[in-house]
A and B are shown apart, each in its own frame.
Chain A
Amino acid sequence: MSEPLIKVDNLSIHFPLGRRLFGEPPILKAVDQVNLEIEKGAFYGLVGESGSGKTTLGRAILRAAPISGGSVHYNDGEVSYNVEELNKTELRDYRSRAQLIFQDPYAALSPRMTVRDIIAEPLELMKITKSREETDERVREIAAKCRLNLEHLRRFPHAFSGGQRQRISIARALVCGPKFVVADEAVAALDVSIQADILNLLKSLQRDLDLTILFISHDLSVVAHVCDYVSVMYHGKIMEQAPTRALFANPGHDYTRSLLSAIPSLDPDRPLKAKVYAPEG
């Protein structure tokens, strides 16, 4: 097997809680000695409840959260980085290779910029394109892939519905041609009828653009449908890692079982019997 695109080794992210006059302050272990490997071309799911550390882990991989211990290694065949040791020029390059799609498309788009400017901003900031024509071409190309038309590019975000906005924010994340994308709760704020549309779009973009996606979500049924590999997180630790089908057919960890049992079924005759996960100590 080839080397994974992302290799996380023993990663810890600790936040001190306040300051003490004497001695060390208590520490919040947001991410605690996590190991994971994301193969090239994977649609990798990271599941957990609020406070489990899934977002912090995703951000650390993008060098957007402080790393307290351990390492993140990135290798796409062209370059190879130790993410925690990047210098300024390397970091700029890494930013164009690893991108983030946000949860809330209402908060993520500036209301004062046209859609064209929003999508073009990463290209201009990272000085990837040489001329305005080239920028426009890249913007049009990615917009078409995200099913936005030319007329949309001239408008402002307020004119768009939630689903369209999320397509804009996906286009913005992909315009600089990243190899790796972290989608943090990318469909959580959307209505069901639109959620399916965005999931299908992410799937097809992944194939067309040869992307590797880390899909962070609290929603097990969504993850079950789009991801091929899943890690389940709880209190900063990974509880279980398995290929999606194996995990859902045969969950190995009590916590995974308790999560699965808590999902309300569409069948009123199969009442909810949630198992409570209560680890010792």
Chain B
Amino acid sequence: MTPLIEVENLTVQFKTDEGLITTVENVSFTLMKGEVLGLVGESGSGKSVTAKALMNLNAGNTVYSPESKITLHTDNGPVDVLSLKTPKELNVVRGGAISMIFQEPMASFAPAISIGKQMVEQLLLHSDMNKAEAKALSIEMLDRVGIKDAAKRFDQYAFELSGGMRQRAMIAMALSTKPSLLIADEPTTALDVTIQAQVIDLMKDLVAEFGMAILFITHDLGVIAQTADRVSVMYLGRILESGPVRDVIGKPAHAYTRGLINALPKLDDLDAPLTPIQGDIPSPLERPSGCVFHTRNPELKPGSRYEREVPPLTEVSPGHFAALFPEDVL
């Protein structure tokens, strides 16, 4: 497989009144063509900031460290995403090679412009189609994602669609420009389980059909298990564990991943106690030194190395890495 996008040493800080806040620290990963990579983490873990960095979409107060590098491989050669400045340059990634769908589809569609008009508008921007072609393709895409009466829906507004249908329309719109990477930021979180199941099915079909890569961001490990090939687990801006989804969920190497799994209520074992991860997520202003998780890790003894030194990502099994010192890898 060929790499589609390479993220190296990504460190993102925000300038705020209280000083520089680090939200993503030294994150590296590679996404292959046609691969689904899950990015799991709780609120404040930096997963959305990472995703937005791929499109250079973070706000004006964002500071990327000089070592941060994001390379997108396109048909016209590699693009250094973080060095893009003008809107014209940025169009290559924003909506061109990369599309993004968001958590709340009602907030992502303009309320006073019909769904169809919004779909056509972005096609005119990102392709050399004329209006009639763009309309035909939009209707075809709506039909493909399972919206009945696509031609009628094309002229409707976001409020006239149900939640699941809105998210489908969002997906249709994101895919109509044929991106090589789709970023899905909590696409099913606001949906009911039955609708979520339909959206997961749809996204799987679309990967098979269009062969694009997906960066799937969610806090829900169950959704990841059902969709992703590989998964990276983030906490306070760092990747603590990453690897093939079966290995990470089946044999988690890092205490944080184990903690997340133990905290989940499981339907097949109703007697299992729910074990919360002790303590609270520290404020971003008080980032722990060493391993960011050491303040909540019940497996560490006081005075351990993890309190002072940042553990490297060490290979646990082929392709499966965890932020542990080599002596702790069994």
Contacts and interface: CB of A to CB of B under 8 A. Distances in A.
B264 A266 contact: yes
B222 interface: yes
A34 interface: no
B197 A191 contact: no
A197 B281 contact: no
A258 interface: yes
- By secondary structure, the B interface counts as helix
Contact of B270 (A49, A163, A244, A277): A244
A162 interface: yes
B200 A264 contact: yes
Given A192-B42, A193-B263, A268-B249, A259 B194 contact: yes
Given A199-B274, A224-B265, A267 B196 contact: no
A235 to B, nearest CB: 13
A223 B197 CA distance: 19
Interface string B183-206: 000000000111011101100000
A126 to B, nearest CB: 31
B281 A191 contact: yes
A264 B222 CA distance: 5
A161 interface: yes
Interface string A214-246: 000011111011000000000000000000110
Nearest to B264: A192
A47 B307 CA distance: 43
B275 A263 contact: no
B270 A274 contact: no
A225 B265 contact: yes
Interface residues of B, number: 38
Contact of B246 (A196, A200, A264, A268): A268
Interface string B208-231: 000000000001111101100000
Contact of B222 (A195, A266, A269): A266
A196 B274 contact: yes
Interface in A30-53: 49-50
B261 to A, nearest CB: 7
Contact of A272 (B226, B260, B275): B226
A264 B220 contact: yes
B330 interface: no
Nearest to A277: B194
B245 A268 contact: yes
A192 B260 contact: yes
A275 B304 CA distance: 50
B311 interface: no
B225 to A, nearest CB: 5
A153 interface: no
Interface in A151-194: 161-164, 191-194
A265 interface: yes
Interface in B242-280: 245-246, 249-250, 259-261, 263-267, 270, 274-277, 280
A264 B194 CA distance: 10
A50 B194 CA distance: 11
Interface string B274-297: 111100110100000000000000
A266 B274 contact: no
A68 B274 CA distance: 40
A266 B275 contact: no
Contact of B259 (A193, A221, A224): A193
A249 to B, nearest CB: 9
Contacts of B42: 191-193
A161 B280 contact: yes
A150 interface: no
A49 B192 contact: yes
Given A225-B265, A225-B274, A262 B194 contact: yes
A192 B219 contact: yes
Interface string B142-178: 0000000000000000000001000000000000000
Contacts of B277: 193-194, 196
Contacts of A279: none
A224 B265 CA distance: 8
A191 B43 contact: yes
Given A194-B280, A196-B275, 7 more contacts: A193-B259, A193-B260, A264-B197, A265-B222, A266-B225, A266-B266, A267-B225
5 contacts: A50-B192, A224-B270, A263-B267, A266-B222, A271-B226
